[in-house]
Structure 1
Amino acid sequence: MSSNTNPYYNENTILYYNGKFKNASKVSTDLYGQTLHYGYGVFEGIRAYKTSSGTKIFKAREHYERLKKSCELIQIPFPYDIEELTQKTYELLALNHFSDAYIRPIIYCDPNMSLTKPNGVNIMICAWEWGAYLGDNLLNIFISSYCRPHPKSIKIEAKVCGHYINSILATSEAKNNGYDEALLLDSDGFIAEGPGANLFFEKDGELYTPQLGNILPGITRATIIELCQDLGIKLNQGLYKPHTLKNADAAFYCGTAAEVVGIKSINKQNFPLEWKDSLGKKLQTAYKNLVLKNELSTQTN
């Protein structure tokens, strides 16, 4: 890692690397690593929020458990203690004077040019101040010509570095065509998810979301499902074709980086329900109250 000016670190930034806190501009990595050459590594995206009771990492255990599970699914060793990683992450935030921050743990592999299990692994945890990944405005989305990888070709439920080439291609295609973000279908033509977020849509006062199997089981997605139960919102999980989404009343994306963000249109076709009147807006407010440990009820409109 060379010292330069970028949005993620500067000459004072501290990161956690293989058990020690180090200056980000002075840490280097091996150019022969399996992760660099083959994308054979796993990562997480986690958020910390400034709350009324101090800085709190939202669902830290769930994220680190998924990091461990991702490693297990693709046969990368995970010689780390989740409680210790959580504590080190809080220390990392304090060292960088961060209250609201995005946190990126990554486990990457030692040099190994063969297509075999790793010779050894490393862990790095960094953090930076980052707003909502997809912004705060309603999104115009585009059904991508790229589909999600077939679940028999990879471990679709693992958050693997190399999988995100698919996401980069889809997002780049959407932006090149004048849209804010993409929507990917699965290999059978059913709605899957966004490049970095899960999809929900509303029809006649009920919510719908693609079922597990061809999507990443998002932690924010699970949180939205919990909030639906709390708020008495009927939620359906299944297989849906694009025409079902195009006939919906409203829709939104959710993810750790994106949080909850409304969708204005799909392929230039606007959703008819005003965002302010949608279940998505209600859940956006409830989610924000939850992560901030707001004293307002999650049922606040």
Structure 2
Amino acid sequence: MVKKIFGFSLTSWLVENFFKQPLVNSLVYISAFIIMTSVTVKIFAMIFEYFPPQRYITVQPVEISSCLKIMNDEILNHLTRCDTGEPIDVRKLVEQHAFYLNKGLIIQALAEHIRSAVESIKVKRKDLFMSIYSLDHDNNELDYVLHYDSQRDLVKTKKIPLDDSRYQDYECVKCFNSSDTTAYVFDSKNYYKGSSKRHKTVKHYMGTKLATNGRVFGFLSIEFHNHIIFEDEESMQDFMEENIFPFKMLIEYQYLKHDFFGKFKNFEENWRVA
């Protein structure tokens, strides 16, 4: 209509006055650059989607230092009590061992270590769940001990019978009923989700038996929520060996010490222990 009324054509004006050959050449180069850049970005996006970069680093477990100091102070208290020269009732030595408190401090230190090891994602307290169960040999079941974050009520199952069919899909039960010492679930689709609401956000799972020289004391479970941390199961195994196992041994030490002191409760029956 503008062309018919005023005799003016915008396209003709642009061709005659604006779209000269040098400008057209520049536009071609700019368009080619934009297309090549877009294709490159898309290729890298596809690569990172299927092969995500490692999102954690190996850091020194400095949190172990505070745990070791607490244990050394506890041993010093034992020695100090023995050096007083007063008669010692060996049946009450176990009372000096802060078994549950020490395990809680170790789990807290482990949580801080994990959060510092995952550098590319800010792992919040709600993004990490850990629990410890002790093995009741007499009843062949796992008994709940503690969990992280202890301020949140996240544990629904306090006892897990290892021979009960209702719990056969639990990773800890499957691990106990096999010769494996560790359990890994990379894809949350393969993770058995119980009634707890926290299971809706699980991304990865790893667990390990708490044992020394074939003597099993319990099980440690770790769940990662809301964020994809690992690129495959192998990287989860590496993370477990590099970052979890040092704290695992500290927990096993608490079980060993508790079991050792417990032998003195019935001193007359177990006098050979002394």
Q: Who wins on radius of gyration, i.e. which is larger? A: 2
Alignment TM class, shorter chain as reference: under 0.3
TM norm structure 1: 0.24
TM norm structure 2: 0.25
Greater strand fraction, Structure 1 or Structure 2: 1
